[in-house]
Amino acid sequence: MGRLATFIISLALVAGLLNHHCTAPARPYQPVARGTPIDHVAVVGDSYTTGTDEGGQGSNAWTTRTWLTLAHQGVQIVPDVASEGRAGYVVRGDHGSVFEDLTTRAVHFDDALVVFFGSRNDEGVNPMQLAGMAHDTFDLARRIAPSSKLLVIGPPWPTADPPFDVLYVRDTLSDQARDAGATFIDPISEGWFVGRPDLIGPDGVHPND
């Protein structure tokens, strides 16, 4: 999960999604002064965000590690995370939610950044339904937080040969993110976990700590 957290925050900073903090190189530690701007960040995700028995829970969650990394760089974050195992844009999770439901819970009017991460759980769903529900989810985030930046991260895959249906999910989300004016990141083409079985738990799917 440490490598995942590094990817997330590096991509967000490089993309300028928190650009008013990026005017100078990051220092190892920067005290937070009174009056430091506070960024409200919402995260919507699946089991890669909730964590599993394989890892990534509590203090080892990539979200928690990311907020701590930012705090040591003098960036104040107030996060709202809504994630659910097995959830996707179309497929309902362990508690019956899809990403649109989670968006309603996590996103607020003053958010500076909204992050969507996933989901391989949508593998094999009707393509038109996926496109429509992804569109509606991003549109909902725009309506709730009209001034926020959107960062859409596609489904990750731990090997170099993801199935076609997962690639189709990736491509559909990329198209919908572009239409929504969001930044899209593709963990598959960037090979986040490829060739690194040490980062994946025994189930072959979820990251370990």
User: What are the pLDDT digits (tens) for 89-103?
Assistant: 999 999 999 999 999
* Residue at token pair 């008013």: 20
CA atoms within 13 A on the CB side of 27: 8
User: What are the pLDDT digits (tens) for 42-58?
Assistant: 999 999 999 999 999 99
- Structure confidence at residue 12 (pLDDT): 54
Of 39, 122, 148, 206, the active-site residue reads 206
Kindly list the distances between the CA atom of residue 205 and the CA atoms of 58, 151, 186, 199, 208, in Å, as whole numbers in the listed order: 19, 23, 17, 10, 10
Which positions ≥6 away from 101 have C-beta within 8 Å? none
- Structure confidence at residue 38 (pLDDT): 78
User: What are the pLDDT digits (tens) for 114-151?
Assistant: 999 999 999 999 999 999 999 999 999 999 999 999 99
Of 39, 40, 46, 47, the active-site residue reads 47
* 29 pLDDT higher than 90: no
Which positions ≥6 away from 123 have C-beta within 8 Å? 155, 163, 165, 166, 169
- Structure confidence at residue 9 (pLDDT): 58
Active-site annotation holds for 10: no
DSSP 182: -
Q: What value, to the nearest 5°, has the Cα angle with vertex 12 and ends 205 and 40?
A: 100
Q: By the 8 A CB rule, do 55 and 207 touch?
A: yes
DSSP per residue, 83-98: E-TT--SSS--TTS--
What is the average pLDDT across 100-110? 97
- Structure confidence at residue 26 (pLDDT): 43
74 — pLDDT class (breaks 50, 70, 90): confident
The chain-wide mean pLDDT, for the chain, equals: 88
Q: Which amino acid is at 188?
A: I
Of 110, 171, 179, 203, the active-site residue reads 203
- Structure confidence at residue 46 (pLDDT): 98
- Structure confidence at residue 17 (pLDDT): 53
Q: Which amino acid is at 204?
A: G
CA atoms within 13 A on the CB side of 158: 14
